[in-house]
Amino acid sequence: MPIKIANDLPAAKVLSSENIFIMNEDRARNQQIRPLRIGILNLMPTKITTETQLLRLLSNTPLQVDITLVHTKSYVSKNISEEHLINFYTTFDEIKNKKFDGFIITGAPVEELEFEEVEYMDELRDIMNWTKENVYSTLHICWGAQVGLYHHFGIPKYKLNKKMFGIFEHYSNDQKLPLLRGFDDEFYVPHSRHTEIKKEDILKVHELFIASESEKAGVYAVLSKNGRQIFITGHPEYDKETLSLEYFRDYNKGLPIEIPFNYFKEDNPSKDIKVTWKSSANLLFFNWLNYYVYQETPFEIENIKKQ
């Protein structure tokens, strides 16, 4: 949230140079506030788990956030009841004539397919095109980031030799960037994926900036330079138990699966889990809502312009 201080306070110049949002008395007096309209396209089969994880992070703000949950019409997950979708979700057809301040496109367990092989790719393409005209800022997560970078910028994904699985250390490339404000020099993020995007491909696209990366996990956060598209290659929203459930699910099926890196204490699955990513996850979503949505979106939502 912005801070209101006297116009001539000496600290104002220092804080402004650090990209801290300062609101002068005149602007504060005339500030208009309304609920933020946020859509979530939930592509995960575990819809209730994913919606709970994301809503927990989106609730970490003093702002009122109005949530619309969206599912694909061209493909309906078999892991969720029709009743849940009818009661709590909507389809793209029902929102395509609306504007949103922010929109989230989640990951999906389809990364080993080519993008064009994904059953709902045509519908997703329509949704991603729609976000550029009707959403102020869109946050793409994991496979959602990969497909977003591919669709908007032609950036391919590559199959990894082994699954990127565990909790990995990351660093910021610009500590004054509002998205990473408050982050430590090193912070941790869960990853669970079989594919990657490559730094050299992103560097060829002048509209994009790599905000954060990892020695082991590679590129983590990519932004369009106007901040209206954000791509996060990991799963900051994951709960404490998520990687454990994935590990034991595959282990108990006799599938080849390595112990998630830097996750269990002493790398021993019989021991407790080290939770090292919660604070950075909360900061990421708070910063996105505050700096890239609330402070930038027009008060009259219909005035959102094409990117």
The pLDDT assigned to 78 comes to 83
The partner residues of 68 in beta bridges, in order of sequence, read 39
Residues at the binding site for substrate are: 163, 192, 249
The pLDDT assigned to 237 comes to 97
CA distance 149 to 157: 9
pLDDT 10s digits, 23-50: 566 665 555 678 899 999 999 999 999 9
**pLDDT bracket for residue 211 (50, 70, 90):** very high
Percent of the chain with pLDDT over 90: 79
The pLDDT assigned to 12 comes to 64
The pLDDT of 295-306, averaged and rounded, is: 89
Catalytic residue among 71, 152, 191, 235: 235
**pLDDT bracket for residue 15 (50, 70, 90):** low
The pLDDT assigned to 92 comes to 98
**pLDDT bracket for residue 4 (50, 70, 90):** low
Catalytic residue among 111, 123, 142, 191: 142
pLDDT 10s digits, 145-173: 999 999 999 999 999 999 999 999 999 99
CA contacts within 13 A on the Cβ side of 260: 30
Is 160 exposed, middle or buried (CB count within 10 Å of its CB: 0-12, 13-18, 19+)?
middle
Residues at the binding site are: 163, 192, 249
Total-model pTM: 0.90
Q: Is 237 a catalytic residue?
A: yes
- What CA–CA distances, in Å, run from 228 to 101, 122, 131, 222? 10, 22, 10, 11
Catalytic residue among 51, 196, 213, 237: 237
Under 8 Å between Cβ of 43 and 121: no
Beta-sheet strands, E only, within the chain: 3-4, 22-23, 36-41, 65-70, 89-90, 100-105, 135-141, 158-172, 186-196, 208-214, 218-224, 229-232
Residue 104 φ/ψ, nearest 5 degrees: -120, 130
Residue type, 67: I
Tokens standing for 193?
């994926």
Q: Is 111 a catalytic residue?
A: no
pLDDT 10s digits, 165-209: 999 999 999 989 999 999 999 999 999 999 999 999 999 999 999
Average pLDDT, the chain: 92
pLDDT 10s digits, 82-108: 999 999 999 999 999 999 999 999 999
Domains of the chain, start order: 32-303 (3.40.50.880)
**pLDDT bracket for residue 1 (50, 70, 90):** low
Q: Is 258 a catalytic residue?
A: no
Tokens standing for 236?
């900051």
Under 8 Å between Cβ of 70 and 136: no
User: In 10 A of CB 105, how many CB atoms?
Assistant: 26
CA distance 303 to 292: 16
| Residue 113, phi-psi category: left (phi > 0), alpha (psi -120 to 50), beta (remainder) | beta
Under 8 Å between Cβ of 243 and 263: yes
* Non-local CB neighbours of 125 within 8 Å, separated by 6+ positions: 151
